Amino acid sequence: MKILVTGGAGFIGSHVVDRYIQHGHQVVIVDDLSTGRESNLNPAAVFYRLDIRDAALEDVFVRERPDAVNHHAAQMDVRRSVAEPGFDADVNVLGSINLLECARRHEVQRLIYISTGGAVYGEPEYLPCDESHPINPICPYGASKHTVEHYLYMYRHMYGLESVVLRYPNVYGPRQDPHGEAGVVAIFTGQMLADQPVIINGDGEQERDFVFVGDCAGANLLALENPSASGIYNLGCGRGTTVNQIFQALKKATGYRRQPAFGPPKPGETRRIYLSSQRIHDAMGWAPSIELDEGIRQTVEYFRTAERAT
């Protein structure tokens, strides 16, 4: 099968590309490299440097004729979404509509869309959140990502475009950029290995659902290869881990000797969120396989070697 992966040079998208290629699929990558890296590109994939909002996206579909689309490209910075909600909507909503229109016109069979379980639910009414939990995002990023879920439902109803939505938890692992808006594991790891101060936003007792990137790549493969899969699925381990716990685990793994500093909380940040993945387990057999300690070990090892060499 030929799959077009948007954001395939990014942290998670590149792992998905690798997994698809390992399983014999052809992959076409569309990425503008605004946050992705050329070093993440799989040499077996065809690469187009292109923004998903660009009208030239149509030319890629004409030339490559993908059977399926995996849509990872996004504006994913929560703080930027609060500061620039128009930009967030432009990329995440209008860019996705451009992609959907190309998929519709060129008879794509299946579209896998990456949404956010950490931001669409808002402050949870119950935990762990399942897919039936009310949608009440408290930041523009969560609102824009959820908006596209409605478009996918409409495109299935109107045009027969089958889709699978994967709502991600906090994903961490090798290739995550430690600079700027990144996951807390990557940021802390980079700072600890450089013996720099580590600042925790808020009191550090905010809880998140941490899942290793390789497990997320596995879910994307299942979503592609299970023809009966459709609708919305959470990924998650079903339990919360505090930022303070992440700090302590990374401190042990890196040999870091300092104590953290504490800064103001980030606007638009949910206090406690973790997800039930029972639905995708029942439908496709997915469950996270890498425990946090092992995932952190692999992440730190990557940052000690590959990341420091870049």
The residue among 108, 112, 114, 113 whose CA lies nearest residue 159 is 108
Structure tokens at 302: 């990557």
Q: Which of 20, 121, 141, 172 is catalytic?
A: 141
What count of other Cβ atoms lies within 10 Å of the Cβ of residue 153?
14
Q: Which of 270, 260, 284 is nearest to 209 (CA)?
A: 270
DSSP element (H, E) containing 284: helix 278-284
> Rounded to an integer, what is the distance from CA 28 to the centroid of its chain?
18
Give the burial string for 76-88 (b: 16+ CB within 10 Å, else e): bbbebbbeeeeeb
Q: Alpha carbon of 232 to those of 66, 116, 146, 169, 224: distances in Å?
A: 22, 11, 11, 14, 14
Are residues 224 and 70 in contact, defined by beta-carbon separation less than 8 angstroms? yes
Distance of alpha carbon 190 from the chain centroid: 20
Q: Is 20 designated active site? A: no
**Nearest partner of 71 among 39, 34, 37, 115, judged by Cα:** 115
For residue 80, the surrounding DSSP H or E stretch is: helix 78-83
Q: Which two tokens stand for residue 85?
A: 């909600």
CA-nearest of 148, 11, 13, 12 to 89 is 148
SS3 88: helix
Give the residue numbers marked as catalytic: 141
